[in-house]
Structure 1
């Protein structure tokens, strides 16, 4: 959900550059009213309230400058933000339910390689990966990341450690879920996610040391 919120925020920022005939209000009507009704009554897997499902999909739809000036990141020229993308993905997901006999002929190693590639590709541009790179980079090279403009070094390290701690806890719980003896511990996963949301909403804004940078770093 947090990832989808980030994607939706990115699309809203680029809404004025969208190449489409219909106004953005129609998009909200389709994604928040029509598609959920299809999902509820027909079981069609169009449950997302955003035009694209991943940041990788978003980057594929955004067109950047081919030759940006030296020292400046490529500027987003326009975004091809369309519902056809979501519709095709939903149809393919639905068809995958009925062609299980065909999918079983795909080698497992091929699927592992595909999922590994998609996972690694989607890491590009994620804030955690950016902050990990920043921690290992001298501050004079931070200019390529607009997100870090005016952000002190110590706060960057603290945000990175918080994310790594949350990720470690989630990974440990997922590993525990593979062992029947530890299933009761793994059942705490939803509560850990709920606790993370509570800390983000109520506790972290009260921490005056990082509160001024919270909205900019953790949208």
Structure 2
């Protein structure tokens, strides 16, 4: 199974798969299904290929996250572990520099334990991580580089979730993560004729052939679904 086979219609956007070992930025406004699409891709992919991965949550508890996923018809694969760091947020507010190291260590220890069968990581979210790091904006790019590069060297396909505001989108001043990432998948909301649609648009994906057009993203009885439609 390919990553693009995990969500119905996602293969209409891509001609070739999301390259393994890439760092992918999943970005969008609140309510655009960033966590849902990331969780769905990882859980279904890992279940079908017999590999393992971890989903790191900094904002929701494990139980709340899984309840939210279940409400969209998304089930947790036994091959995807949920690493709940939400309880660490208050603890590490005064020692925030250690949190990034802790996350990296957690991932690399899991990689050492599982070996080549450990292939995927998700971090939900970069915004929560930024709020905990006592780092000047000019130093943030360097810190992210030192997080991303070990994951690339370990050939881990990594999905990083980043929430943006409606007004800023991907054009905010500190968009250094866009340059560091190998791929950018933007999710959003668009109102037309008094109807609001969610959309998915691949803005960037190195070493992959894909459409640049926006596609409609919906929640069906069987999970998420992507299809072409007249959005804008």
TM-score, normalised with respect to structure 2: 0.27
TM-score, normalised with respect to structure 1: 0.28
Q: Which structure is richer in relative contact order (CA contacts within 8 A, separation 6 or more)? A: 2
